[in-house]
Structure 1
């Protein structure tokens, strides 16, 4: 299939984008700054706090994911078709992007000082070591990366760049992507933010290089999360503490 034959789509904000982005922002702010609101009766229904946390995250991301797919399915289909025109290049970029994240993170840590594990990362590790892969992988590898790439790349760069300089949009995307992972949990210290800044920078670079293709950045993001999950399962729990 000829890439040029795939019709472009207008990068304008739609009402569906408003619903999807609004849902994401409202519930992230609630979970970050007012976690006590929770879901009424959840602690009585699920006494285990880790399992309750998983259920809350799963319900949130299922809803956010459904809204993201509803809002972006035409772009997602088009971008997947574009990637299918060069399958070997696509398959090479995915591990290359993951390696670039690891390398940039290592460099960033050398610059910013000793790494600090974010509270968000500790919570994720707690879920992974406590729950089976069949529960964790759909959430952390399939659904969450799609939602985040839709919000932070497709909307904040692809569509916002229609109204704002694209490099300003890229900077906003990287900073907000990092900030949202520590919001309401800890101070915005550079050593804590660095891994997320590095990850966001690579995903932004891939997205822009690929002609604003958020399905490619989603594939790289999902691969990075899969690697992190598999390594967490592979490393004994006592070494993670």
Structure 2
């Protein structure tokens, strides 16, 4: 170890020898001085905690330091892909043209349809609908799974209010439809599509009808009429114009046989009237507004459509038969058209909802 250098002139008692090896030693061996901390030049130092908002700017807007308010996120439906075109073509062939009906030539469908027993015939027709909607749901989910998941994530904003508005929108829509139909001059007209559904439901279990008409059918229609015609098309056209297109095409889908008949023979009677179209227009408008206002949410549009159809099935299976039987047993059919108006409202409830799926 090296020794500290010696003072050639000896030790000066006025200056203590520096402790060069002491920890924290000051100059010439003095202990280190404790320097006082300078006072905070602007008053008290800032305390830890959340950032405090500053004063508003010259326009009265909140300062930029405030955290942004939570808003409805957009579900981002994405762009058109080739798979969407394939899905549209599959829907036209399978559901509209009736490609799934070719299975009627194959046993056991051919055996059931040719049995002459109404129950077996209607059940065979229902199974054909199950296959058709099953194929379309697989295609729709394969192409919209990511968009569906994004809409689920965006659903968290005010989710309780959205869920509350589902039954509120359903009741309000039915009341509005009933008032419009009755105001236009009478009872809703029963379309061929509705007659086919009513005949089918008489021989189909309730839970099976819920699966097909309450869950599968609504998702297929929401994929085409909201997800494609509004969600993806709105990347190129104004979203409200897309909404009008969706509302117009939605009822036309349910009256394709009538439209074909009108083109072939304009004088032939059809079930395509203003009264028969009103329920579809009202329901299509509600689904479209719900889809747009919730940030192009596919999950919410499907939820609203599914709730609508499930409630319609509940009424068709349990409420309407009991109420009609009660009115008949009460003997009040001669009181001021009460039965006629009640039947009209009930017809609106079923025509508006059940005819939106199945039996195309």
TM-score (norm 1): 0.88
Q: Deviation string for 1:71-122 (max 9, x for gaps)?
A: 1000111111211343311211211221232122123213433211222122
Matched, 1:164 2:229: no
Between 16-25 and 59-68, report the one with greater CA deviation: 16-25
Q: 1:143, 1:8 → 2: CA distance?
A: 21
Native 8 Å contact 1:100 1:202 kept in 2: no
Q: 2:289, 2:208 → 1: CA distance?
A: 31
- Change in Cα spacing, 1:233 to 1:13, as seen in structure 2 (3 Å) is same
Q: 1:55, 1:24 → 2: CA distance?
A: 17
Aligned match of 2:296: 212
Offset of residue 157 of structure 1: 0.8
Greater percentage in helix: 1
Native 8 Å contact 1:105 1:198 kept in 2: yes
Match of 1:64 among 112, 136, 154: 136
Q: 1:176, 1:21 → 2: CA distance?
A: 14
Aligned match of 1:129: 202
RMSD across aligned C-alpha pairs, in angstroms? 2.7
Q: 2:76, 2:278 → 1: CA distance?
A: 34
Matched, 1:12 2:79: yes
Aligned match of 2:308: 224
Q: Deviation string for 1:36-71 (max 9, x for gaps)?
A: 755323222554221111011110000000101001
Aligned match of 1:119: 192
- Change in Cα spacing, 1:89 to 1:236, as seen in structure 2 (3 Å) is same
Match of 1:27 among 83, 89, 94: 94
Matched, 1:84 2:151: no
Q: Deviation string for 1:112-133 (max 9, x for gaps)?
A: 3321122212222222222111
Q: Which blocks of at least 5 consecutive residues in structure 1 are unaligned?
A: none
Q: Which blocks of at least 5 consecutive residues in structure 2 are unaligned?
A: 1-68, 259-269, 326-345, 348-360
- Change in Cα spacing, 1:106 to 1:4, as seen in structure 2 (3 Å) is closer
Match of 1:201 among 281, 285, 293: 285
Aligned match of 2:123: 51
Aligned match of 1:174: 247
Q: 1:198, 1:43 → 2: CA distance?
A: 38
Native 8 Å contact 1:152 1:177 kept in 2: yes
Of structures 1 and 2, the larger Rg is shown by 2
Offset of residue 193 of structure 1: 1.0
- Change in Cα spacing, 1:170 to 1:111, as seen in structure 2 (3 Å) is farther
